[in-house]
Structure 1
Amino acid sequence: MIDAFRTQDSGDTTNIADGTAVTLTTAPSGPAPGSATPDAAPQGPSAPDSSLLDLSVLDLAAVEAAVRKAAADEIMPRFQQLAAEDIVQKNGPHDLVTVADRLAEEHLTAALTALLPGSKVVGEEAVHADPKVLDALHGDAPVWIVDPVDGTRQFVHGDPGFATLVALAHHGEVLASWTYAPALDLMAVARRGAGAELNGVPLHTGSPAADAVLDVAISHFDFTSDDEKRVLAALDTNGVAPRPCGSAGLEYLHIARGEIDAIAFSWENAWDHAAGLLLVHEAGGASGTLAGQPFRIGGGNALPFTAARDAETARRILGLLAAAN
């Protein structure tokens, strides 16, 4: 899982919703509560876990090269060149998949498992074909979590705002992530406990100005239920400026760069969030679910959840959402 409220020290007793003092504990490994009020935030990063994969066994530069090559070979040659037969609806007119999505995921699956023998891949398109692929998130093997083209709608429309997202997880912990926007020449890399970089330059989220109106990307209305719309509408209030999100991966990058203040999302697909949550976390940001628990890549989260430039902003967003839930 991703630790929530990274900026807090162990023993911080600040309450998310109203400032009441409570004792904070590390989030349990079991399923998150489904509808609790966010009355406590998990503590900051835990001590290193010796049961987790040691990243020193992996050539991280080779992973980045594999991500770049998949995009160069399978995605960019098709950008703004798609034929009608290259695009298919999955679950509706707004949920699209292209030949680039499928071929890039196949490319990455072969390349990443070769770099880390014994690892598994949970890819968006593989899960669509066989939901049992998700079971790997709960197994003992390291797992690559892959979204070959995050922002397929943008890709289909010839908009450069799409990304390839790759995260490496083990026992529910995200250890490293790569967010690559090939049409924008942006490569963001994060490693657990080692910070985040964009094109080799360290990333820092910073904090919004005290009197700033918060710029918040929220779940796009094309992909939300009426009840989700109702809860997210709580952010349409004084001091907050919500807008529909684009590519989830790029919205996380915007937070890590300090370009927007937060996200509030109502879905939990691991391939959309694993890479970005680690990126924000390692850039100094904060995250948490509606129950005040860390986001779990294996699912069972209390939704909506948020990621933000700092813990105070995350508390504010979660408080507004909790009041409407």
Structure 2
Amino acid sequence: MIDDFLAGDLSAVEEAVRKAAAAEIMPRYRQLAVHEIVQKSGPHDLVTAADRLAEENLTAALTALLPGSVVVGEEAVHADPAVYGALGGEAPVWIVDPVDGTRQFVRGETGFCTLVALAVRGEVLASWTFAPVLDQMATAVRGEGAWLDGQRLWSGPPEPGKVLDVAMSHPDFTTDDQKRALLGLGVEGVRARPCGSAGLEYLAIARGSLDAVAFSWESAWDHAAGLLLVTEAGGAHLTLSGEPFRIGDGNAMPFTAARTPATAERVRSLLTPA
């Protein structure tokens, strides 16, 4: 079933993502009422009406496109953590982050996106990254490459001797142990900064405009789409153990994704275990 789906026309998935953004996200862009913004775990962890309604829209649309599939979405897991367990099941799983970069969305900035990935037993097979304000759609299919608005993406190696630009977990979302691990990036030849939308940081790597990321959290909806995009553009990802990051597997944190395997290994070597 899944092979037939992937071999077919996947444009219906792209259309579903665009429709959800048009119906539920963009009408609320810079138009959010106070009651439409709610804190989850704290002031830096927000959810809006756009997040909830876009996820509901996508859940209905995506499961209709692939009968027998299920959805693991950020907001559904927040409501019921047991939903996350579907990542290890036999059914195809749509992994959904309706608004990746909610803080940026709330502030009326352009740096947010909608992320969708299709996975089976932890293996990500296809992904869609849509930045609605910028009207940019990046897609990837395992073994078939990565694309941005119809143009093939290839990350390519950093220029020899170039200072590496690395986006890392924002201090608001790291434990003390993780902060200590990320201190390894404070060396000559590396320029580290807090990350914005994870999905757009991964897209920047795939485009070759960012060298690497170093992230310290596992949430599948933040990483599934972008990690496939990066690998299909020629990049790589590694956990502290030297193994690739695998969705839902309890990976060694922090981990990195980068423009090339060699860049990923360099960044991994700097991430000192706590």
Shorter-chain TM range is over 0.9
Higher mean Cα deviation, 223-232 or 271-280?
Answer: 223-232
Give the TM-score normalised by structure 2. 0.98
1:273 maps to amino acid: H
Conserved in 2, the CA contact under 8 Å of 1:249 and 1:273?
A: yes
Aligned to 1:160: 110
Letter in 2 for 1:119: S
Give how far 1:85 is off.
Answer: 0.4
SS in 2 for 1:148: strand
Task: Return the TM-score normalized by structure 1.
Answer: 0.83
Note if contact 2:98-2:115 (Cα within 8 Å) is conserved in structure 1: yes
Tell me what 1:85 maps to. Answer: 35
Per-residue CA deviations over 1:212-252 (Å, capped at 9, x if unaligned) read: 00000000011111211111111011000000000000000
Aligned to 1:134: 84
Q: Which residue of 204, 208, 213 maps to 1:254?
A: 204
Superposition pairs of residues 1-325 of structure 1, within 5 angstroms: 53-56=3-6, 58-321=8-271, 323-325=272-274
Name the CA distance, whole Å, in 1 between partners of 2:273 and 2:125.
34
Q: What value does the CA root-mean-square deviation take over the aligned residues?
A: 1.2
| Gaps in structure 2 of 5+ consecutive residues | none
Q: Aligned partners of 1:308 and 1:54: how far apart in 2?
A: 31
Contact 2:5–2:66 at 8 Å: present in 1 too? no
Bigger RCO (CA 8 Å, 6+ sep)? 1
More strand by share: 2
Q: Deviations over 1:277-302 (max 9, x none)?
A: 00000000011111011211113100
Please list every run of 5 or more consecutive structure 1 residues that lacks an aligned counterpart in the other structure. 1-50
For the residues of structure 1 that align with 2:187 and 2:134, how far apart are their CA atoms? Answer: 33
**Residues 58 and 115 in structure 1, CA contact (< 8 A), matched pair in contact too:** no
Aligned residue type for 2:202:
Y
More displaced 10-residue stretch of structure 1: 58-67 or 107-116: 58-67
Return the offset for 1:208. 0.4
- Cα drift, residue 53 of structure 1: 3.9
Larger radius of gyration: 1
Structure 1 SS opposite 2:188 = coil
How far apart are residue 146 of structure 1 and its match? Answer: 0.1
CA distance in 2, matches of 1:296, 1:103: 28
Residues 311 and 57 of structure 1, relative CA distance in 2, 3 Å threshold? closer
Whole-angstrom distance in 2 between the partners of 1:184 and 1:308: 23
Secondary structure, aligned partner of 2:51: helix
Deviations 1:144-174 (A, max 9, x none): 0000000000000000100000000012110
Runs of 4+ more than 2 Å apart: 51-59
CA distance in 1, matches of 2:232, 2:108: 31
- Rounded to whole Å, the distance in 1 between the matches of 2:2 and 2:11 is 20
Matched AA of 1:207: P
Note the C-alpha offset of 1:210: 1.4
Task: Choose between structure 1 and 2: higher helix proportion.
Answer: 2
Instruction: Tell me the amino acid that sits aligned with residue 189 of structure 1.
Output: T
